[in-house]
Amino acid sequence: MTITVETNGRVQTLTLNRPKALNAFNDGMYKAVGDALSAAATDDEVSVVIITGAGRAFSAGQDLGEMGDATRREKGFVGQFGYFIKTVATFPKPLLAAVNGMGVGIGLTLLPHCDLVYMSNSARLRAPFATLGVTVEAGNSYLLPKVLGWANAADILFTARWIDAANAKEIGLVFAVTEHDQLMTDVFAKASEIAAMPLVSLVTTKKLMIEHREDGFTRARASEDNAFARLTGAPANREAVAAFMEKRAPDFTKLAAE
């Protein structure tokens, strides 16, 4: 199974479960998470959902094997990516993240869609899109500048640098940093506090919050999809994926900007 789902009281925990692949998202995982969130959205016994990862990673991002396989792509994306992001972005109940380890790519860009993000003090995050010859995803050309401020977003996206837990908290990417062994206890305590509130109040409030960001997010997604489709499989992306597979440094020096 690419995910596991456990319900405790009114709190549901969705665990990304490809630990040998560092919970990298493949087509099956995108669909599984989307389906699980769709089910939770209409389940009156569930008030809050927590997303976390199995093993030592939160998520290593997109499965590069699938990214490099042209037969698996649909308009530049793995087929179920659009469904996954739409489901996450419109999820009508409080959504918490427990970043238990490394979060790369979608392991970072998922976080601005979550209402509260808890991060292990030993975890690290990275937005590697420039190094892959592609661009930012999941509406984060809008969300990251809005959440972090323009300069912090530019620094993360232009340099693809690693972000430790203390820095993630400082720039507002996460809500709280906790000891690794205490992470799930702390997240579950907050989820239980929220779940004790009337579901109608939670859903109505979340709906209003989503409505206020909808226009900017929707336009960003459309622009990103077009840009990502153009860049996926283009020379810079082919060189980045080939270098990754061949375990060498990529060489982008002879590639044009267009």
Domain boundaries of the chain, sorted by first residue: 1-181+198-258
The fold adopted by the segment(s) 1-181+198-258 is: 2-enoyl-CoA Hydratase; Chain A, domain 1 (3.90.226)
pLDDT at 76: 46
| SS3 state of residue 51 | strand
> In this structure, what token pair is assigned to residue 248?
């060498």
CA distance 157 to 240: 16
CA distance 25 to 221: 19
> In this structure, what token pair is assigned to residue 106?
């979608």
Q: In whole numbers, what is the pLDDT of the chain averaged over residues?
A: 91
* 77 has a pLDDT exceeding 50: no
Per-residue pLDDT, averaged over 6-34, amounts to 96
| SS3 state of residue 96 | strand
pLDDT at 71: 56
Task: Name the band, by pLDDT with cuts 50, 70 and 90, for residue 39.
Answer: very high
Percent of the chain with pLDDT over 70: 93
Task: Name the band, by pLDDT with cuts 50, 70 and 90, for residue 247.
Answer: confident
pLDDT at 116: 98
* 83 has a pLDDT exceeding 80: yes
pTM for the model: 0.88
* 66 has a pLDDT exceeding 80: no
Per-residue pLDDT, averaged over 30-45, amounts to 97
* 75 has a pLDDT exceeding 70: no
CA distance 90 to 73: 24
Most confident of 80-84, 139-143, 183-187, 239-243: 183-187
> In this structure, what token pair is assigned to residue 93?
């109940």
Per-residue pLDDT, averaged over 204-219, amounts to 86
CA distance 219 to 169: 28
Residue 160 phi/psi, 5-degree rounding, is: 55, 30
Yes or no: say if 52 and 97 are a contact pair by the CB < 8 Å rule: yes
* 103 has a pLDDT exceeding 50: yes
pLDDT at 242: 84
